[in-house]
Amino acid sequence: MTARLAGSRLLGAALTMDFAGGSNKADHLCVLVHGLWGNPNHMNNIAKTLRAQHSPDDLYLLLAKRNSGSFTYDGIELGGERVCAEIIEELKTIENNGGKIRKLSVVGYSLGGLVSRYAVGLLYAKGILDSVECMNFTTFASPHLGVRTPLKGWHNHIWNVLGARTLSMSGSQLFTIDKFRDTGRPLLSVMADPQSIFMLGLQKFRRHTLYSNIVNDRSAVYYTTCIEKTDPYKDIDRIKVNFLKDQEGVLLDAAHPFSPRPKVPAPITISSLTEMGVRWLRGIPFMVTVSVLVPIGVVAYLINSVFQTIRSTKRIKLHEGGLAGIDIREYRVPILIKEFREEVEHVYEALNNSQHQEYLADEDEDEETGMNAEDRSTMARERRMSIPTQPTLALAPCQFEMIRSLNSLKWRKYPVWIQNDRHTHAAVIVRFEKKTFNEGWVILRHYAGEEFLL
């Protein structure tokens, strides 16, 4: 196992580009954390864009590598401990080489955003955040509320049960069916508790930024990546999307992301019927592919899930026993202050994307969401405005609590509309070089040039 761990770290190191690292003059460390089934190579283009803006004398880049590949099955807690250890080791290495880090930024992609939030909590508990100025905490397409499907129907119940049990410990935590330690609560709920080390750690950062796909993110949908209880983009033809100026029709204006589109029934013409027919015919190859390949993929996905869960369970046991290179006693600190692989990914996305969002009835909203007087007043104002009130998603009570707590951080939220590729979860960070991912470069340049505080 130790040899496999070392091999994974060497592979991760080999995948990173030469724009990682920095000189002894750099006093700002930026840590980039990849997502589920990922590796450091997935973060290359974020690092590349940051490096284009900031020289090695100004910014030191660390692409975290110890959670590569199937190691991301091992859970947010274990992943966070690995990243925390990696950051501490990097700080020591830089200091031993004559440098001194005075500023810290953290960037997380997908699951890496949750792993980063856990690592930040550990850094806070260990006092490390007191020795640096916390600058930027940023996530790209990160499921802050988990990936549980907003549900009322039986088919969504089935997906939530199945999905939660095919990703080992990470699955249980992402679908919020776990009970973290002795809290009796899901880990994501604990991480959003205002009195937890995780929230106290996040509060120390000067800027909190997130980028969220509004459509076609089959891994992490809008409501969870943008920390919202509504999804106004579910039927995008009913609204007019407002883009930020000079952002090439990709980034939405966060202050006024959309406006209502007048309900004018389109006349039925020969050309419109022809267009509908063409769209239907174009969809036939896709439907045939899905009907043939998805059943095969599901079987392979489930078999792989069993295999990876067994391997993950063994790694977790080694980690808990202190036999995986990390002394866990250094990281099992009091959590609450008041108490002191790509084919597999595609199959998961296809299954997750087949679910439908369900909504609360109007009379259920106050009870389910725990809406207070201020929320009700805001809702009343929205009803009087020209933009109609969006229906509240049928989230779990703990997810509504997460929304209220996490949004206290005053995130700078950037909804993004990627239209040239349906794999927007990968395109949002240009996870690999692909022509149809080019819209992702608009997002990365905006982050490095407009959002990132040096």
**Band of residue 453 on the pLDDT scale cut at 50, 70, 90:** very high
Distances (CA, A) of 38 to 289, 330, 430: 26, 26, 13
Q: Residues 183-193: pLDDT tens digits?
A: 899 999 999 99
Domain chopping of the chain, boundaries = 2-358+393-451
Backbone angles phi, psi at 139, to 5 degrees: -130, 145
Question: In this structure, what is the dihedral angle of CA atoms 434, 437, 443, 447, given to the nearest 10 degrees?
Answer: -30
> What pLDDT shows up at residue 391?
85
**Band of residue 417 on the pLDDT scale cut at 50, 70, 90:** very high
Are the C-beta atoms of 156 and 356 separated by less than 8 Å? yes
Q: Residues 290-317: pLDDT tens digits?
A: 454 445 555 554 455 555 666 666 665 6
Give SS3 for 47. helix
What is the spatial distance between Cα 253 and Cα 129, in angstroms, rounded to a whole number?
32
Handedness of CA 232, 193, 202, 13 (dihedral sign): negative
Averaged pLDDT for residues 347-368: 55
What is the spatial distance between Cα 188 and Cα 211, in angstroms, rounded to a whole number?
19
What is the spatial distance between Cα 58 and Cα 49, in angstroms, rounded to a whole number?
14
Tokens of 3: 């040899």
> What pLDDT shows up at residue 420?
94
> What pLDDT shows up at residue 101?
97
Q: What is the DSSP letter of 107?
A: E
DSSP codes, 204-263: T-SEEEEEEESS--SSS-HHHHTT-S--TTTTGGGEEE-BPTTSTTTBB-SSS-EEEPP-
Give SS3 for 424. helix
pLDDT score of 286 more than 50: no
Backbone angles phi, psi at 135, to 5 degrees: -100, -75
Are the C-beta atoms of 411 and 210 separated by less than 8 Å? yes
